[in-house]
Amino acid sequence: MNWPNVELTDVERFRALAAGVPGAAVTERVLAAPVERVKELLTDLDAFATIQADLVSATLLERNGDRVVVLARGRRGQRARLEGQLRPGWCWLQSRFVIIGMAVAAEPGGGTRVALTGGIRVPGRAAIVPVRVRQESIKTMDRLERLMRA
């Protein structure tokens, strides 16, 4: 038997992952920027903290290949030890109370598609409290777009 072979972009893979998290709203935008530049910016933790609407800093604590542990500090003084994957074009980090996810893929015809989700995690469940998820993702996307123009 020949099974079909399907190649998914990181954004398509990201949509599938986020679909399994209740409350996760994926926000997407196509930026007029080269995919490699967007990937570079989103894997730079200093830029990452500038882009994410609720963060003031993100510090790499551990790295083993694409597996990372990051200490994130929020605008209201909160801290989170985030664990997950961070590689060019892909980020999925979560702590006990926070989920942050981003994916990047070249857009046919030019530009770069960026997908985001994140928010306050429901303790003990793979779920995000759906309050303000979309608004925070739009703020983050706006910041990313401004940085790409600079």
Amino acid at 40: E
Query: What pLDDT digit, counting tens, does each position of 23-80 carry?
Result: 888 999 999 999 999 999 888 888 888 888 788 899 999 999 999 999 999 888 889 9
pLDDT at 131 over 80: no
What's the CATH superfamily of 10-149?
Answer: START domain (3.30.530.20)
Residue with the bigger pLDDT between 150 and 113: it is 113
Look at residue 94 in the predicted model and tell me its pLDDT. Answer: 92
pLDDT at 141: 92
- Please write the tens of the pLDDT for every residue from 71-116: 999 888 889 999 999 999 999 999 988 889 999 999 999 999 999 9
Give the pTM: 0.88
Tell me the three state secondary structure of residue 102: strand
Cα 67 to Cα 26: distance, rounded to the nearest angstrom: 22
Cα dist from 40 to 26, 43, 77, 94, 135, whole Å:
21, 5, 27, 21, 24
**Residue in 61, 31, 29 with CA at minimum distance from that of residue 45:** 61
Question: Any idea where the domains of the chain sit in the sequence?
Answer: 10-149
* Torsion angle, alpha carbons of 102, 80, 17, 86, to 10: 50
